[in-house]
Structure 1
């Protein structure tokens, strides 16, 4: 017995690719969950206090919350690609730029690793759900769940990579300080991790397409709205002539 859910009419190829692309993009954004794993290394490298590192996640979430509406506004005016491209430039490039800013003080580090990454999370976040779910209007909850699971899996994917790059032999810090052979790997880790994030987001962007049906419906609604306005204007002019 063939399930109707898997028929080509219900699951168009571009729709499936769009969901996969959204999953990959959100998987990259799930890098956020590794900030806590990176904090001990950053504290050791920069010589900052643990209380200062507690602000990193808070800043990212605050910037994400502020920038969430921006993505929706941009998507309505320019299409979904611009918010996703801005997300790639902000998040992936922000992590990679931290290779430089980690050597220039806490403010520079927060600017690239927290503020830029927060923008990269917030601007494309809801746009991805909207584009992917438009292909499957009867299964929106399923599509959103699949894509959101990518965000949740970020820690599972990126945390082992971070540890493998920076501290493959699980060397423990002494009085909060890691040995030089561990610390020297920290800046390079940002380049590698930022490159992985950027690559996943780029793959996600390339896999996503607007649903033709939703675009047609939008034009139909716009057309019917224009016709209604014209008809109402004609009725008003007719009444005025009387």
Structure 2
């Protein structure tokens, strides 16, 4: 992580650890709420297919639109691009690029759906997935940099925003397209003309909402002005959850027993752990004054795990177990949220 010279970053750094992490976390959640509409494809599928079948191409069937989520699924590969952009241009610019591609894809879909299925697949499939992957990883990484000792907690909260997005936006989409709750035919299509005419405009409205939410979130997407090894949240959480989430006094005081910091190149390069409570003591003085107090030295802390290179990671069996587990979960989830309305129509026909 590079040290940020951003003015907003410096302002946030002056706040208490709880408030600065909360603010950055809120910005990342706003962005993820817009990106998570990826999961609403199944809700819009019969409306999009019905519109194209009546106005664009009479040969369009619901199953032909399944190429769209296939291309949206490119977002894990786009995460690699997001990481590279963040290193080169900073997290805010990288997230801006991702959000712009994603939102422009939604807006252009209002026109491409009237043109052809390949054009619609390009805008709502490839562009949306590419921008989604870039913005997703940058927002999560940014929050982790502000709370490196709370990786599981903060990344989980941001991912929850991504997941809950469909619960928020799917009813909004339905209210915009089908406010009178018209029923579909047994084949799963909507023939009502007034409903179909609303479909392109839904993408314009959604893109406008995404733009506002993303611009607000991008304001606080930045790296801290100093490299942090601790969020400084221990005291804040002790006030809100006394003796609860952080465990008994004298315990590790962490949600995870692992500190996500890189290993020094050699033993002589190792630096003491710097936190908010010790930062002011490290500004001046001899090297003896820069070490932690004897009480903190006596506290046993687990050594930081090694930072693996990509090739080393590929040699780990843990990587393949995690890959397989995530693949199975994602395969089931993707099939369900992309086709759940189609299944409802088929069951009703039976």
Q: Identify the TM-score tier after normalising by the shorter chain.
A: 0.7 to 0.9
Shift of residue 166, structure 1, vs aligned partner: 0.4
Paired with 2:93 and 2:226, the residues of 1 have a C-alpha distance of 21
Q: Kindly indicate whether residue 183 of structure 2 is the aligned counterpart of residue 177 of structure 1.
A: no
| Match among 151, 176, 180 for residue 140 of structure 1 | 151
Q: Kindly indicate whether residue 142 of structure 2 is the aligned counterpart of residue 131 of structure 1.
A: yes
Structure showing the higher helix proportion among its residues: 1
Contact 1:59–1:118 at 8 Å: present in 2 too?
A: yes
Paired with 2:61 and 2:108, the residues of 1 have a C-alpha distance of 22
Paired with 1:202 and 1:9, the residues of 2 have a C-alpha distance of 24
Aligned length: 212
Paired with 2:27 and 2:94, the residues of 1 have a C-alpha distance of 15
Paired with 2:202 and 2:208, the residues of 1 have a C-alpha distance of 10
Q: Which has the higher contact order (CA 8 A, sep 6+)?
A: 1
Cα RMSD over matched residues? 2.2
Partner of residue 166, structure 2: 155
Shift of residue 68, structure 1, vs aligned partner: 1.3
Contact 1:91–1:116 at 8 Å: present in 2 too?
A: yes
Paired with 1:138 and 1:86, the residues of 2 have a C-alpha distance of 28
User: Structure 1: any 5+ residue segments left out of the alignment?
Assistant: 1-7, 229-242
Runs of 4+ in structure 1 deviating by more than 3 angstroms, as ranges, are none
- The TM-score with structure 2 as length reference comes to 0.57
Which of 157-166 and 83-92 deviates more? 83-92
| Match among 109, 115, 130 for residue 120 of structure 2 | 109
Q: Kindly indicate whether residue 212 of structure 2 is the aligned counterpart of residue 212 of structure 1.
A: no
Partner of residue 104, structure 2: 93
- The TM-score with structure 1 as length reference comes to 0.82
Q: Deviations over 1:105-132 (max 9, x none)?
A: 0011011111110111111211211111
| Match among 203, 209, 225 for residue 196 of structure 1 | 209
| Match among 25, 33, 36 for residue 27 of structure 1 | 33
